[in-house]
Structure 1
Amino acid sequence: MARLGTWTAVHRRWVYGIWAIIVVGFGLAAPAVFNSLAGAGWQADGTESVQVREITQEHFGGNSSAAIQVVIDSRSGPLSQEAIDGVVHRVGEITAADTRLNNRIIAPVPGTTISRDATTAIAIIGADASTDDMVKAVDDHKAELTALSTDRYDVFPTGSSALWSDFNAANHDAMIKAEMISWPITLAIMIVAFGSVVAAGLPLLLTLAGLVASAGGLVILNQITPISVWAMNFAMMFALALGIDYALFMVSRFRTAIATKNRGLPPADQNSHRIRHEAAAETMDTAGKAILLSGLTVLISLSAVLMVPAPAVRTMAIGIMLAVTFVLAASLTLLPAVMAGLGSRINAGSLPWAKGKHGASPLFGKWGSFLNRHPWVPAIVSLGILIALALPVFGLKVAMPSIAVVPDDAPVRQGYEVVAEQFGDGAPGMIAIVTTETTADEAAAIAAANPNIAAVMPPQAAADDSDWILIQAMPKADPSDEQTADALAQLRADLPRPALVGGAAAENVDLQDALNTWFPRVAVTILVLGFALLLIALRAPVIALLGTVVSLLSTAAAFGVAKLIFQDGHGSSLLAFEPQGFLNGWGPVFFFAMIFAIAMDYTVFLLATAKEHYEHHADPRQAQVDAMAHSGRIIFAAAAVMVAVFFTFALAEPLPPKEMGIILGVAVLLDAVLIRLVLLPAILRISGSRAWWSPGWLDRMLPEISFKH
């Protein structure tokens, strides 16, 4: 790492040139990132419901869960056949040239897709493409479809594809607004933390380079495999937070190194090339190692999410991993080169109170000394708070999002509510049963006898010469209700083979089952790999295990708070959202990986600093005080930035970004304040030399890694 630091400092023009090519090259593709990325992928590959979607799309005129339902709702009195035919004709004209859509529009049918009072009718635009392309088709046509409304009736595109279209649009807008708010707040915090305009600006420039490169990389990767648009949303947020984390640690260390090396030298010798190169090497040999290990921990944590067989979840992880990779690469190459080019000018624009104040923080040094003298009470109080906040997690419920996650004025929600009101609560989540002619009557009878089914439609023969029969059943409850999941489970248990059960509601249930099944495996993988990396980095099994355990504790506390807010609704009026009674289904898997990655990020910073000072003087008590003095301010500032970034998403109107911002913000706040600045330093003090003990056989197995420069 020291040699890499020297090389980047000596050859910084090469580094600038390479990064200019990377940023410009990927930047040319970056503007297309939100328009080209996929909009769907919320499914569990290989499940029964996905099979049903593929069968109905191929054999029943595209009448699958991905089809677009066009709801025609009269404002006054029954709809005339002429009005219905006119809308169907115009819908056909709008979609005729789109190869993603089936050319035959399924017209409303009395008794099934026309309400009893004839005020509402549903036409169906068949799907003839992947779910991602169907969402894009809705993006392209929903304005034209809603424009068919007149003063006599409204027209709303709805259904699963329309839901994801409006869902993605609302969340994209919310994410962009939150990012715009978070950047100036971040800069203000950075200026206060660094006390220098130049030093504060470096992390933002570094993160911007990483974000542009990752955005272009996602567009290019999307040509190979569909990447969820959420990948970029998460990548933007996570890269900003982590990029600032890494830059804080590096810039702080470089400023200390350059100030130390210039001390006592005549002005003519200060800030020489040799001084700057040596400072870059020292920074990389200490902070650079910690950042590399931290970045690897983040990547390992997120890579475990790739085990989940859901395209949207996997590609969100890929998006963040790509952004973290670029930010990490920039932190370890571009940043040391820029710092070496600036030298002591990195302190340009210093604010009055910060001039000449680099290195150890007297304030956090005093706090470290206090914990050294009185470790037990702060540790017990901190531990008690975390356990109390974690206890509600045992009552946490998860489910795929309901219609409440899209704004009230979204066309898909308006259409959904009309369908539910006119046809029944379960109508928006019709269950599709595909079977053969020989078992069709038996399947229809079993479905009709199910206590959670309100109505069963007449069996429908395939549009081609195949033997498939489609039976649609309407649940009694809303698609996100547990009663609908019970209906699906009972049907699958009772129906004769080869009957298959699917539909949009079934796809959500199957995805949730997959997420629930894979979550324990993902969590265990993350914990084991996180511990292994800490063990390799620190060469100390005791503190590596304790560091992993306390990171898990802060994660549990964050989910406990999430249960109180988003499931139980505490504070919902203040935060302006309607609680669903559960946490969105991807939360445990995805947020666990993200929270644990951030927690381990701080763990590496603190313990790497403590290990560095322990290697210098072999005094565990002094190492704990020095670790707080040298890393406490960085951890505090980094946490302040992260909390500001994440909490800006709490201002979003849609629930998912609000949920994400509050959960991650609370996690960082709890982790930084209660664990990194209280519990973990107290544990270091209490465990003493035992924290750094390692058996001889393990020492011989582990690679030689030292943080001492």
Structure 2
Amino acid sequence: MTETDQSLGSHPTSPPPKPGPLGVLAGIAFRRRGRVVAAWVLAIAAAVGLSAAFAGDFAADYSAPGSDSSQAQNLLADRFPDFAGDTVDVVVHADDVTAPDVQRDVTTLLRELSAAPHVVGADDPYAQPGHISEDGQTLTAQLRLTYDNGANVPEEDSERLLAVAEQAERPGLEVALGGESITWAEQGEIGSEGIALIAAALILLVTFGSVVAAGLPLLVALAGLGVSAMLTGLFAALIDVPDWSTALATMLGIALGIDYVLLMVTRFREWRAVGLDPERATVATLDTAGRAVLVAGTTVVVSMLGLFAMGLSFMRGAAVVTIAAVLVVMAAATTLFPAILGYLGRHVDRLRLPMGRKRPALVTEGGHVEPPRGWLWWGRVIERHRVIAAVVGVGVLLALAAPFLGARFGFPDAGNEAEGKSVRQAYDMLAEGFGDGANGPLLLAANLDEPGDDAALERLTQVIGATDGVAAVTPPIMNEGSDTAVFTVVPMTGPQDDATEQLIETLRSAVIPDAVGGTALEVYIGGVTATAIDSTDNITDRLPLLIGGVVVLSMLLLLVAFRSVVIPITAALMNLLSVAAAYGVVALALEGGWFGQLIGIDTPTPMPAFIPVLIFAVLFGLSMDYEVFLISRMRESWVRTLDNGRAIVDGLAGTGRVITAAAAIMVAVFAAFIPSDEVALKAIGVGMAAAIFIDATVVRMLLVPAVMHLFGRRNWWLPASWERRLPQLHVEGRPEVHLPAPAKHLEPVG
């Protein structure tokens, strides 16, 4: 530190240092705190008002653009709208479904269901072949809906259908409804936000020991949530936004808002402990920790931008609302937080809990607060046993990732739901009465442009009916223009069976081309099962684009932020190992064994392909958050001492408690997904909670420092030619310009 720098804080009357842009912003917000708080209140009110006036409905298209199933859907929507909509399966079981009293009750039931909103018609199971099982105890009919995606059907309309079906039941007559819209209606509300906030509040109280300090992150997170949650409805009016993205964006916004302010409250207390007044401590906090927050938030945004590479509308919608939540949180952390410190900065340690004692701040000769002794001890243990720590860390991650090698991709269906749900009962009744394939029929759409196509269509249905793996083929139904036909193929195997996927591949690649060769007949295979398979293939094919793009962009950001070649490379590799471990935990849960049963998954369940995508995008960003928190403190020490070993120990000790507390909050937030009835959200919850725990313990607190000790001074190497070309972000800030002269009697820290 230069004499000039020392003089800046040597006397109470010395002029404030010249901070960077974030420090300037913090000073303005601190001094004009009333206006800033009022602006945030107005922003929340405006967001609520705009959402109430212009919010759109949630919508999601899970089909794969350009796929065979997508072309089938488009053809039906254009020429056969009655068959383009989603369907609801009505399944009835009785000793004899053809008995007069049962037939009368079923007819009445179907008439009442057909009168419900968004239902355009229903099959007559007694007039059409194939709707009554061979034993005469089960029948099925389909309700055709106006919506082409069951996830978009208003929940209250599906609940009305369930109520009608329940009223129709009587002793000897069982009725169950199946279909995507019914699945969504039976999931109910998650209610995770309240659980997450309560858990976060308890962790913050334990971390800070003060109600005021613990309340600051919660206040900022709730303000950000008030704006971002309302913006979601506005985005839904412009683009397709899946309803589950609201829970994801809300949880991420809460977790990041709390974590970012947690980091800054910790740094603010350190600045207060070394003698700065509240305003200068606020400026210094934003000029140091605030920079790390902006870089960390940017890495999350970069990760979520990777979802656009998937080329799927529902992924874009989820990315947009999540990015909006992150940006709002960053804005709140850099404007609202310093404004609130203007009111509460002097009282940050008030309302202390009767637990433990305040320990005096230990200050080094340079005026820095010495990190907790326990974390210093741990940092030195890693330094002495760096090789063992690195080997153990990698071994643990690889062991956790191993179950992912046997992961089975696909979409969970009603057979994976809880036994008490109507969709599960309908699934089981259909399988028992008509065979497993009845739960995954294939809907074939044929485009007939020439007169000879009729004969080709008849020949095609005969050939498909004789194909191995096909249980039944319904006669083709023609539209009014006689240019489009639709018929159903029922496989012998269930929708999640590998044999069903192989059958679809055989029909597409061999059976259909051979049967219609030499004609103009065009045939596409659609339906829920085919759409799920096409969507899974499409996502898995694009996943390398997402991973490659996000990793490269994140490495470039870290390269500029820390002016090092080694740190971005090791960070990317360790984050990939962390993601693989998270995938392994999810795969283990979806196996339906002892671990899956702990969280409510009791049947072998395929992994939806979009879950690895979301977990990667979110986790990679959050992992980079912790990387930035940790490395920025290491770099701060490195710039001051040029001692790699000390820099690593100081950085680990200085951020250990913050990262541990932040990770505990993240784990609590994402674990709140686990009670959800939806398997996808449950899997995301367990995967993210496990991933954050692994990343904050095995990776950040063990593997990263061990590997950095192994690399030594090479951690901070940057080619000389790059030194001049790369911009200086100073992510660690310039703490030396804010430090006062060392004092013997300092404020205690918690």
**Do 1:2 and 1:285's aligned partners in 2 also have CA atoms closer than 8 Å?**
yes
Aligned residue type for 1:72: V
Per the alignment, residue 355 of structure 1 pairs with 358
User: In structure 2, which of residues 343, 350, 366 is the aligned counterpart of residue 341 of structure 1?
Assistant: 343
User: In structure 1, which of residues 5, 14, 21 is the aligned counterpart of residue 35 of structure 2?
Assistant: 14
Deviations 1:323-380 (A, max 9, x none): 2121121111111221233222111112353536665222212222332333222222
Aligned residue type for 2:339: A
Distance 1:74 1:140 in 2: 24
Question: Is 1:585 equivalent to 2:609 in the alignment?
Answer: yes
Per the alignment, residue 272 of structure 1 pairs with none
Distance 2:661 2:421 in 1: 39
- SS of 1:123 mapped into structure 2: strand
Superposition deviation, residue 288 in structure 1: 0.7
**Do 1:30 and 1:212's aligned partners in 2 also have CA atoms closer than 8 Å?**
no
Distance 1:159 1:305 in 2: 28
Structure 1, 670-679 or 374-383: larger mean CA deviation: 374-383
Per the alignment, residue 304 of structure 1 pairs with 306
Aligned residue type for 1:382: G
Distance 1:139 1:92 in 2: 12
Runs of 4+ in 1 over 4 A off after TM superposition: 28-33, 135-138, 356-359, 651-654
Per the alignment, residue 494 of structure 2 pairs with 478
Superposition deviation, residue 674 in structure 1: 1.1
Aligned residue type for 1:337: A
Distance 2:298 2:146 in 1: 42
Per the alignment, residue 542 of structure 1 pairs with 566
Distance 1:692 1:157 in 2: 62
1:153-164 alignment to 2 at 5 Å? Answer: 153-164=173-184
Question: Is 1:236 equivalent to 2:250 in the alignment?
Answer: yes
The change in CA–CA distance for 1:147 and 1:393 in structure 2 (over 3 A counts) is closer
Segments of 5+ residues of structure 2 without an aligned counterpart are: 1-21, 362-368, 736-750
Per the alignment, residue 84 of structure 1 pairs with 106
**Do 1:241 and 1:642's aligned partners in 2 also have CA atoms closer than 8 Å?**
yes
Structure 1, 477-486 or 120-129: larger mean CA deviation: 120-129
Distance 2:141 2:715 in 1: 68
The change in CA–CA distance for 1:293 and 1:571 in structure 2 (over 3 A counts) is same
**Do 1:135 and 1:162's aligned partners in 2 also have CA atoms closer than 8 Å?**
no
Question: Is 1:209 equivalent to 2:229 in the alignment?
Answer: no
TM-score, reference length from structure 1? 0.91
**Do 1:158 and 1:413's aligned partners in 2 also have CA atoms closer than 8 Å?**
yes
Per the alignment, residue 612 of structure 1 pairs with 636
- SS of 2:575 mapped into structure 1: helix
Distance 1:485 1:164 in 2: 25
Deviations 1:293-341 (A, max 9, x none): 1111011111111222333333223232222121121111111221233
Superposition deviation, residue 570 in structure 1: 4.5
Distance 1:542 1:471 in 2: 59
Per the alignment, residue 133 of structure 2 pairs with 115
Deviations 1:416-450 (A, max 9, x none): 22222222211121111111243312321232132
Superposition deviation, residue 61 in structure 1: 5.4
Distance 2:609 2:228 in 1: 27
Question: Is 1:629 equivalent to 2:653 in the alignment?
Answer: yes
Distance 2:570 2:46 in 1: 44
1:411-426 alignment to 2 at 5 Å? Answer: 411-426=422-437
Deviations 1:32-57 (A, max 9, x none): 99x96426432223322122223334
Aligned residue type for 2:492: K
The change in CA–CA distance for 1:15 and 1:357 in structure 2 (over 3 A counts) is farther
Distance 1:38 1:413 in 2: 25
**Do 1:65 and 1:159's aligned partners in 2 also have CA atoms closer than 8 Å?**
no
Deviations 1:653-704 (A, max 9, x none): 5433332222111111111111111111122222222111111121222111
Superposition deviation, residue 75 in structure 1: 6.0
**Do 1:75 and 1:154's aligned partners in 2 also have CA atoms closer than 8 Å?**
no
Structure 1, 197-206 or 650-659: larger mean CA deviation: 650-659
Per the alignment, residue 285 of structure 1 pairs with 287
Aligned residue type for 2:358: K
User: In structure 1, which of residues 37, 40, 43 is the aligned counterpart of residue 63 of structure 2?
Assistant: 43
Per the alignment, residue 47 of structure 2 pairs with 26
Per the alignment, residue 265 of structure 2 pairs with 251
Superposition deviation, residue 569 in structure 1: 2.6
Deviations 1:216-262 (A, max 9, x none): 10111111223111011112222222222111111111111122224
Superposition deviation, residue 88 in structure 1: 2.6
Superposition deviation, residue 192 in structure 1: 0.8
Superposition deviation, residue 528 in structure 1: 0.8
Superposition deviation, residue 504 in structure 1: 0.8
**Do 1:70 and 1:157's aligned partners in 2 also have CA atoms closer than 8 Å?**
yes
Superposition deviation, residue 486 in structure 1: 1.1
The change in CA–CA distance for 1:155 and 1:125 in structure 2 (over 3 A counts) is same
Deviations 1:607-657 (A, max 9, x none): 011111212222222211211221111011111222222234334454333
**Do 1:447 and 1:453's aligned partners in 2 also have CA atoms closer than 8 Å?**
yes
- SS of 2:556 mapped into structure 1: helix
Aligned residue type for 2:330: L
Aligned residue type for 1:27: V
The change in CA–CA distance for 1:18 and 1:528 in structure 2 (over 3 A counts) is same
Bigger radius of gyration among the two: 2
Structure 1, 147-156 or 182-191: larger mean CA deviation: 147-156
Per the alignment, residue 461 of structure 2 pairs with 444
Structure 1, 243-252 or 336-345: larger mean CA deviation: 336-345
- SS of 2:475 mapped into structure 1: coil
Distance 1:42 1:638 in 2: 34
Per the alignment, residue 318 of structure 1 pairs with 320
Question: Is 1:600 equivalent to 2:619 in the alignment?
Answer: no
Q: Percent identity?
A: 30
Segments of 5+ residues of structure 1 without an aligned counterpart are: 263-274
The change in CA–CA distance for 1:226 and 1:636 in structure 2 (over 3 A counts) is same
Superposition deviation, residue 91 in structure 1: 2.2
- SS of 2:289 mapped into structure 1: helix
Distance 1:85 1:32 in 2: 42
The change in CA–CA distance for 1:379 and 1:583 in structure 2 (over 3 A counts) is same
What is the root-mean-square deviation in Å for CA atoms of aligned residues? 2.4
Deviations 1:400-424 (A, max 9, x none): 1122443322222222222222222
Aligned residue type for 2:508: R
Structure 1, 466-475 or 313-322: larger mean CA deviation: 313-322
Superposition deviation, residue 13 in structure 1: 1.7
**Do 1:551 and 1:596's aligned partners in 2 also have CA atoms closer than 8 Å?**
yes
Structure 1, 38-47 or 452-461: larger mean CA deviation: 38-47
The change in CA–CA distance for 1:671 and 1:183 in structure 2 (over 3 A counts) is same
- SS of 1:450 mapped into structure 2: coil
Aligned residue type for 1:248: L
Superposition deviation, residue 279 in structure 1: 1.4
**Do 2:109 and 2:168's aligned partners in 1 also have CA atoms closer than 8 Å?**
no
